[in-house]
Amino acid sequence: MERGEVWLADVNGLEPVVVVGAGDGDEFRAMYVVPAATAEQRRGFDFLDPAELIIRDADGPAASSGGSGRITGIEVPLGADEGLDPAGVVRLALPREGHVFCTWQVTLRPEDLVERLGRLSAEKLRMLDAALRLSGT
């Protein structure tokens, strides 16, 4: 498996994941692909447009959106081009002082992988890399 590959993994049932990096020994890090947040779930939260990730400096002030002041999240959309049906997102929450947010990161072993579904394009991988840097993941 390589960084940016999309796999169906056996994690509490079959779940799509994106490989994001090496772990310890034979383990590696991956991010769950989840359904995009609904309008109701987004209410009161600011989400950074993932298209802006590749033009913003990941170390700059992108996390302060100037909106409601609540957590800013990023959803990198994935779909048929990446081998997914139905489409989903890799969702990351940006850090906020005094808050701990869940992540959708998981540590897997090669035997957890069931089927390779596809691969992120170079542009989607750049978006994901920038989102990971911003989130501190």
Q: Which residues, in sequence order, are CB contacts of 1 under 8 Å at separation 6+?
A: 7, 19, 28, 110, 113, 116
> pTM, whole model, 2 decimals?
0.81
- The pair of structure tokens assigned to 76 is 């990198």
In the chain the domains, ranked by start, together with CATH numbers, are: 5-135 (2.30.30.110)
Q: Give percent of the chain above pLDDT 90.
A: 45
Give pLDDT, residue 57. 44
Query: Which whole number is the average pLDDT over 18-26?
Result: 86
pLDDT of residue 64: 41
**Stretch 15-19: mean pLDDT, rounded?**
95
Alpha helices for the chain (secondary structure H): 39-42, 122-135
- The reported pLDDT for the residue numbered 74 is 87
